[in-house]
């Protein structure tokens, strides 16, 4: 029997994580090919952002499947690597949202602004904050249930 919280995680995986994963697979070639004409830090940003998002998606899928199969107890035994990678992916997604919302400053787009607009392709990944917060809450509740009340 699967619990209500785990069934909610299944809905989050199908309705949020799966579309974001498919969008990521479609966006990465555009982002990486758009940076081929630049050099230096401007060319490195899309590659690092793509690698961070790939790690975040793998970690989010790993944590979601782990929670769906094993419940809260499985989350409490997981290494911090997946949690950090998922948080890093949310930082990249927040940078993508910021790059979409911030206006350009020049009449003609500079190479730096062009790269930031390409990083904006990762902005749909901001919806991964919902399963991330859900899994963090479940991990906290697992930790809290292991906390014993001691009598004086």
d(CA 68, CA 84): 20
Task: Show the tokens assigned to 69.
Answer: 């199969």
Q: Among 125, 97, 108, which residue's Cα sits nearest to residue 27?
A: 125
Token code pair at residue 42: 């401007």
Residues 6+ apart with CB under 8 A from 125: 20, 23, 24, 53, 56, 57, 89, 90, 92, 93, 96
Q: In the predicted model, what is the mean pLDDT of residues 52-70?
A: 90
Selection from 41, 39, 58, 42 nearest residue 118 by Cα: 42
The answer, yes or no, to whether residue 152 has pLDDT greater than 60, is: no
Per-residue pLDDT tens digits for 109-128? 666 666 667 677 777 888 88
> In angstroms, rounded to a whole number, what is the distance separating the alpha carbons of residues 117 and 84?
25
Do 139 and 87 contact (CB within 8 A), yes or no? no
* Contact of 78 with 63, CB cutoff 8 Å: yes
Q: Where in the chain are the domains?
A: 4-144
Whole-number average pLDDT of the chain: 80
- C-alpha 29/C-alpha 24 separation (Å) is 9
Of the pLDDT bands very low, low, confident and very high (cuts 50, 70, 90), residue 85 is: very high
Between residues 149 and 40, the one the model is more confident about: 40
CB atoms within 10 A of CB 26: 9
- pLDDT for the residue numbered 62: 92
Lowest mean pLDDT among 32-46, 71-85, 118-132: 32-46
Share of the chain above pLDDT 90, in %: 10
Tell me the C-alpha distance between 82 and 31, whole Å: 24
CA–CA separation, 97 vs 117, rounded Å?
10
Residue 1 binned pLDDT confidence (cut-offs 50, 70, 90): very low
- Look at residue 13 and tell me whether its pLDDT is greater than 60: yes
């Amino acid at each position: 029997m699967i619990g209500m919280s785990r069934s909610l995680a299944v809905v989050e995986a199908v309705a949020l994580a799966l579309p974001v994963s498919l969008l990521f697979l479609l966006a990465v070639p555009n982002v990486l090919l758009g940076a081929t004409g630049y050099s230096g830090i401007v060319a490195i940003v899309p590659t690092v952002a793509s690698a961070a998002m790939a790690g975040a998606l793998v970690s989010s899928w790993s944590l979601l499947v782990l929670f769906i199969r094993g419940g809260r107890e499985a989350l409490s035994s997981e290494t911090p690597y997946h949690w950090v990678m998922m948080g890093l992916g949310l930082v990249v997604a927040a940078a993508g949202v910021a790059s979409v919302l911030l206006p350009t400053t020049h009449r003609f787009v500079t190479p730096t602004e062009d790269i930031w607009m390409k990083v904006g392709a990762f902005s749909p990944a901001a919806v991964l904050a919902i399963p991330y917060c859900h899994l963090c809450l479940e991990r906290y509740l697992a930790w809290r249930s292991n906390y014993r009340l001691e009598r004086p």
